Amino acid sequence: MSKHILIVEDEHGIANMEKIYLEKAGFKTSLANDGNEAINLFYNNNFDLVVLDLMIPKLSGEQVLSIIRENSNIPIIIVTAKVNENDIIEGFKSGADDYLKKPFSGNELVERVKAILRRVNPNEDFIKSRDGRLIVDLSNSRVLKDDKEISLTKNELSIIETLYANPHKTFTRNEIIEISFGFDYEAFDRAVDTHIKNIRQKIEDNPKTPKYIRTTYGLGYKAGEIDETQF
């Protein structure tokens, strides 16, 4: 199941950027434009992480942080244009888990979110196929088949990490390029097919009938069936 992220941001452009990047990375998102809406959404949903701007109307970000912390240990990333060191320190003292200064890139936000969720849910760093033969170790950026490490190129490893970090999502070729290599990476979407073919040659018993990387015809690719007991 996709992790659910609450975005609290009143600047439309920034909120939209956060939403696009997080959803392309496989997360589910909900958006609050002010502090009151943020609290209402928080009480009526089960979120896994909050991305919280401090400069929001109605209730301030600091007030929202305080209310959430009175009720939950959910990870919170503060997003703000404030650059005063004392503000940052106070944010951490109030219960923030991380701090992002504006302006920041969507890719940085995604990586911060993933890093915090890995710390909170360490078992999700170690994803095993249903048959137990393939292991994707996200913490150490390695893939093992039958307890032997598979030699993968940087791009191949990035693709398999993208798929297995979001094992229930089908990714289009463009999404794989954007998440695995970044929006500025110049490549034709068919280049993904070549990478997938090479990966299958290395990890599949029979690349012509793959089970560790599945093709969803007309859409793209997804991870093979995983051991659901780890989630």
Instruction: Give the pLDDT band of residue 123 (cuts 50, 70, 90).
Output: low
Given a cut of 60, whether residue 80 has pLDDT beyond it is yes
Given a cut of 60, whether residue 55 has pLDDT beyond it is yes
Q: What pTM does this model have?
A: 0.62
Q: Helix axis angle, 61-71 relative to 35-44, nearest 10°?
A: 20
The pair of three-digit structure tokens given for residue 91, joined into one six-digit string: 């944010």
Same domain, 83 and 130: no
CATH number of the domain encompassing residue 164: 1.10.10.10
Same domain, 110 and 133: no
Domain hosting residue 97, numbered range: 4-120
Q: Rounded to whole angstroms, what are the CA distances from 192 to 14, 152, 176, 195, 215?
A: 29, 15, 8, 5, 12
Q: Residue 6 in contact with residue 48, Cβ under 8 Å?
A: no
The per-residue b/e assignment along 209-226, b for 16 or more CB within 10 angstroms, e otherwise, is ebbbbeeeeeebbbbbeb
Same domain, 99 and 156: no
CATH number of the domain encompassing residue 8: 3.40.50.2300
Which has the closest alpha carbon to 228: 168, 155, 161, 146?
168
> For the segment 5-16, what is each residue's pLDDT rounded down to a tens digit?
999 999 999 999
